[in-house]
Structure 1
Amino acid sequence: MLKEWTIFVFMAADNDLDVAATSDLVEMRRWQGSERANIVIELDRRRASLSDNDSGKFSSKRYLLNGELSELMDLGETNTGDPLVLREFLEWGARAFPSRKTALVIWNHGGGVKDPAIYGKQASPMRRALFGSKIDQDEKPRMKWVAMDDTAQDFLETAELSVALETPFKLDILAFDACFMSNFEVFYQIRNQANFAVASQMIVPVDGFEYDQLFNTVTAPECDTGQEWVVRCVDHFKNRYDDGEEAACLSGYQLSYCSHFIEGLNELSGWLLEHWKGCTLATLRATQKAALFRDRSYIDVGNFVAELKNEIADPLFHNSCEKLEGALKTGTVANTFYKVPEISGLSLYLPLIKPDEVVWQRYEKLDFSHAAPNWLELIRKVLS
């Protein structure tokens, strides 16, 4: 019988998250299973500081979760930073466990445009947190990253995400249990490989998703569409952290609205460029006010547009603002945040300090940058 869902969980734990991975596997084992879904897991564990006799316990393995956790195969050492490793997992899983719909959870640290200090110095023990601002001099800075692998000293860049997801099927859902991945630049890169994306604009709390509860809610009979999956995932996250002490947020975006968002963004940034002499200070003030409290290289899109409307009274400009606001609101399926100022669920890169030249060159090569030339020029104006 063809099942409704296959849920892929790609756990990149060959790093300081190895212990956290075993904790999340305990959560996953508590899920009782469902006739509507199979959950397949690829887990790459950390080999560092292990003896040769123990290293086999920490190789990459694939599991089936449905009532119990069954090991399916031992892959030996793999590199989660290689896009072909993730692609092969997806293609294998789709053949072995066909279904009507598919969802992928990428489990790991996540980061943004600035260079993370991953392999040049001791990484922060905070789970899924953004690291520092430099890497080894012999390492090239990279753009927006996820799925780090200590053994290979590698991780997936945003451009590599789209390569990893070039499978014969399109994902219904791509969810990131990782920090800082709710950037429009990331979403635009994967717009053709998934229908919906779920991610956070900031640091994900140490416990991440509560997997047994998440699997229960997204495999329920009432969850029969991708949009419902997103709503339930965000609601589950809200229920987990709403009463806690940690600041957190999670949102879901329908990627078919990416083209409308790009159109609105180009129109808004084009107007600012055309009137730059008269609106320079207004733009800088809006950038500062809309900067995310956790990383001020990013602006919250909704707050940025709202601040611009407060600063600039021109009715034609307000039309452009409302066009972008419409694409943001219409595309946003669900959004939750707590113990933080109000945020819209989606971020953009707009630094006030000049980035490393290599970082900037890589940013220019993203699909987003080719589609939004006015935004690139606006960043240059802000930096100047």
Structure 2
Amino acid sequence: MVWLLLGVATGTIVATLVAVSAGGGGQERSPVFALADTSTSTATPALESTTSTSEPIDSTTSTSLPPVEAGGSWTVLVYFLADNNLEEAVFGDLHELARIPDSDSLHLLALFDRAAGFSEADLPGVGNWESAKVLQTRSGFFTEIEDLGEANLGDPAVLGAFLANGMARYPADHYALILWDHGWIYGVGADDSHNDVLTPPELASALEAARQQTGVERIDIIGFDACLMGALEVAHWVAPYAHHMIGSEDVVPNAGWDYEAFGYLVDYPAAAGEGLAREIVA
């Protein structure tokens, strides 16, 4: 199939089509993109900005990141909006993350919001629950970092706090944020308990809040393991906050990405965002 790698710089969008083999024994996987900044673009976005009614993230206490040592390091944060009928599919992706070898230069964090009435599966080391938990995987095991209760993952304040707090806890040379769920051009989600989705303008709001709290102008990668998010209208909103974007032009199988692809960072901790993006879509 064909993956679209998007580069956006100085207000100009350049699209490159890259042909790759389909994974999973011929089962198609979603197209994925890589991006850059549209902050100087004068193009009119196709989506209108909305005014969020959520509480802003408290920025009174700075979480500006300490310097990191040279040599290359990554923090990968995965936002599983799974309070819906896709919940059970998360477990396969979490186990893929757990199979990645340990490395002092790679930190893997996940926020997993579960649903009532869809799956009773246990996660080793954590058990069964219905709330939203921040998890870390290391040595093949999962550790609960924080229980957020019945959080609304369709609220940009929750996303912004997860990103900022994860970056503050594990400062690195490079950062990747992956959002996992249903998706389409008008947003990613939904969080069924709150009947809420993250719209592209709300994604920008969350990324801006994390930027203000951490001082990191742009993360390396924002990725959407979700259907139909690979659109220029989405790219317009997130490009000022990430060097590369990965997203699908088509539907995504329930199994989603191959998260073991992040093991590339164990062998190449100083890898640039483009290198990781190409590894993910290969």
TM over 0.5, shorter chain: yes
User: 1:138-192: CA deviations, max 9, x gaps?
Assistant: xxxxxx1103100001011111110111122221100111111110010011111
Q: Is the 8 A contact 2:80 2:90 kept in 1?
A: yes
Q: Residue 229 of structure 1 aligns to which amino acid in structure 2?
A: L
Verify: 1:58 aligned to 2:130, yes or no: yes
Deviation at residue 36 of structure 1 after TM alignment: 1.7
* Residue equivalent to 1:21: 90
Length-normalised TM-score, structure 2: 0.66
* 1:1-384 equivalent positions in 2, closer than 5 A: 2=69, 4-48=73-117, 57-67=129-139, 68-112=141-185, 144-166=186-208, 167-168=210-211, 169=216, 170-212=218-260, 214-221=261-268, 224-235=271-282
* Residue equivalent to 1:249: none
Deviation at residue 220 of structure 1 after TM alignment: 2.3
Distance in 1 of aligned mates of 2:264 and 2:175: 15
Structure with the greater alpha carbon radius of gyration: 1
Structure 1: state its 5+ residue gaps.
113-143, 236-384
Q: Residue 148 of structure 1 aligns to which amino acid in structure 2?
A: A
Moved over 4 A (4+): 48-51
Q: Percent identity?
A: 32
RMSD: 2.1
Secondary structure class of the residue paired with 1:196: strand
More relative contact order, 1 or 2 (CA 8 Å, 6+ apart): 2
Distance in 2 of aligned mates of 1:35 and 1:98: 12
Distance in 2 of aligned mates of 1:50 and 1:40: 22
Distance in 2 of aligned mates of 1:210 and 1:48: 26
Secondary structure class of the residue paired with 1:103: strand
Structure 2: state its 5+ residue gaps.
1-67, 121-126
Q: Residue 21 of structure 1 aligns to which amino acid in structure 2?
A: V
Which segment drifts farther, 195-204 or 63-72?
63-72
Q: Is the 8 A contact 2:133 2:148 kept in 1?
A: yes
Length-normalised TM-score, structure 1: 0.49
Q: Residue 86 of structure 2 aligns to which amino acid in structure 1?
A: L
* Residue equivalent to 1:271: none
Secondary structure class of the residue paired with 1:106: strand
Between structures 1 and 2, the one with greater strand share: 2
Equivalent residue pairs, number: 200
Between structures 1 and 2, the one with greater helix share: 1
Distance in 1 of aligned mates of 2:227 and 2:278: 19
User: 1:274-309: CA deviations, max 9, x gaps?
Assistant: xxxxxxxxxxxxxxxxxxxxxxxxxxxxxxxxxxxx
User: 1:57-95: CA deviations, max 9, x gaps?
Assistant: 111101112323211111111011100100000111011
Secondary structure class of the residue paired with 2:240: coil
Q: Is the 8 A contact 2:222 2:242 kept in 1?
A: yes
Check 1:36–1:154 CA distance in 2 against 1; reply closer, same or farther (3 A cut). Answer: same
Deviation at residue 111 of structure 1 after TM alignment: 1.1
